[in-house]
């Protein structure tokens, strides 16, 4: 198994459970000004577990922490210096899905868009014309990856999906990996009506970002399959 250098501890490759006809490399990227999470679906021959009869795609997570100090200009320059070699060490994907900046209906900070600009420059410098870049909103990629009706899935639900579907071993103790009964996540004292409490993470850990990156990559695979079946 080809191991991609990882900043996080989640180095174990995963195998998607579905039978996929794709033969491309697909990346999903969840960018923030704090860190960049990446999910990679790699279909190159020779990858995968040696005991498997046929080559299967391998799913790999990645996480890159960015410098939070100094001014925005210095942060963006530092982000570029870190993101570019991080991308260059990976195979050029056919499709790279980036989550559109959002802020739950609030005003999206300009910095988020600036970082997307830096990221796109790095994608171009690393992969050039080989790579199509697709921007998807959170609901767009969640519906593709998790299925219809899941467009508003919260972070714990995404993490639970990545763990159950892909075998992702990232954990978030703050929300019990999204697997705990949802009443545990309710406000103290909240009683009855528990079903209506949203399953949210009180303070999302990086595992959530990586799970989102994996979801974005799977959404890219679903997108390519959709195009082909039209």
Contact range with Zn ion by CB under 5 A, out of 39-47, 123-131, 134-142, 172-180: 172-180
The span of 35-43, 180-188, 193-201, 216-224 binding Zn ion (CB under 5 A) equals 193-201
175 binds Zn ion, rule: CB under 5 A: yes
Nearest Cα residue to 115 out of 131, 129, 91, 99? 99
Q: Are 120 and 133 in contact, with CB atoms under 8 Å apart? A: yes
Residue closer to Zn ion by CB (options 118, 175) is: 175
**β-strand 35-42 against 58-65: which pairing, if any?**
antiparallel
- The reply to whether 37 sits near Zn ion by the rule CB under 5 A is no
CB-based burial, 90-124: b 16+ in 10 Å, e otherwise: bebbbbbbbbbbeeeeeeeeeeeebbbebbeebbe
CB 199 to Zn ion: min, Å: 10
User: Total binding residues for Zn ion by CB under 5 A?
Assistant: 4
Residue linked to tokens 């996480």: 63
**One of 20, 47, 174, 225 touching Zn ion (CB under 5 A):** 174
Q: Looking at 85-93, 97-105, 146-154, 200-208, which segment touches Zn ion (CB under 5 A)?
A: 200-208
H-helix segments, the chain:
72-88, 110-127, 138-146, 155-161, 206-229
Q: Whose Cβ is closer to Zn ion: residue 113's or residue 152's?
A: 152
d(CA 94, CA 224): 10
Q: Is 58 helix (H, G, I), strand (E, B) or coil?
A: strand
Pick the piece of the chain touching Zn ion (CB under 5 A) from 43-51, 61-69, 166-174, 219-227: 166-174
Question: Contact with Zn ion (CB under 5 A): which of 96, 201, 222, 224?
Answer: 201
Nearer to Zn ion, 136 or 172 (CB): 172
CB atoms under 10 Å from CB of 126, counted, come to: 20
Work out which of 172, 214, 222, 224 binds Zn ion, going by CB under 5 A.
Answer: 172
- In whole angstroms, the minimum distance from the beta carbon of 213 to Zn ion comes to 15
Does residue 94 bind Zn ion (CB under 5 A)?
no
What is the rounded CA–CA span in Å between residue 20 and residue 213? 19
Binding-site ranges for Zn ion (CB under 5 A)? 172, 174-175, 201
């Amino acid at each position: 198994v080809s191991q991609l250098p990882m900043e996080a501890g989640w180095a174990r490759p995963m195998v998607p459970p579905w039978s996929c006809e794709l033969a491309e490399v697909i990346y999903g990227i969840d960018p923030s000004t704090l860190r960049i999470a990446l999910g990679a679906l790699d279909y190159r021959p020779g990858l995968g577990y040696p005991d498997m009869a046929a080559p299967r795609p391998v799913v790999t997570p990645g996480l890159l922490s960015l410098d939070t100090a100094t001014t925005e200009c210095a942060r963006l320059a530092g982000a570029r210096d870190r993101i570019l070699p991080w991308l260059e060490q990976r195979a050029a994907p056919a499709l790279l899905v980036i989550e559109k900046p959002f802020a739950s209906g609030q005003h999206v900070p300009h910095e988020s868009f600036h970082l997307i600009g830096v990221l796109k420059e790095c994608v171009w410098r690393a992969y050039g014309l080989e790579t199509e870049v697709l921007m998807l909103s959170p609901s767009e990629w969640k519906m593709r990856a998790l299925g219809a009706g899941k467009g508003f899935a919260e972070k714990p639900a995404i993490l639970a999906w990545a763990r159950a579907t892909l075998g992702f071993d990232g954990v978030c103790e703050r929300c019990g990996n999204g697997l705990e009964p949802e009443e545990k996540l309710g406000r103290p004292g909240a009683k009855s009506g528990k079903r209506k409490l949203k399953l949210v993470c009180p303070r999302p850990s990086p595992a959530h970002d990586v799970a989102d990156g994996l979801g974005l990559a799977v959404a890219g695979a679903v997108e390519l399959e959709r195009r082909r079946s039209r």
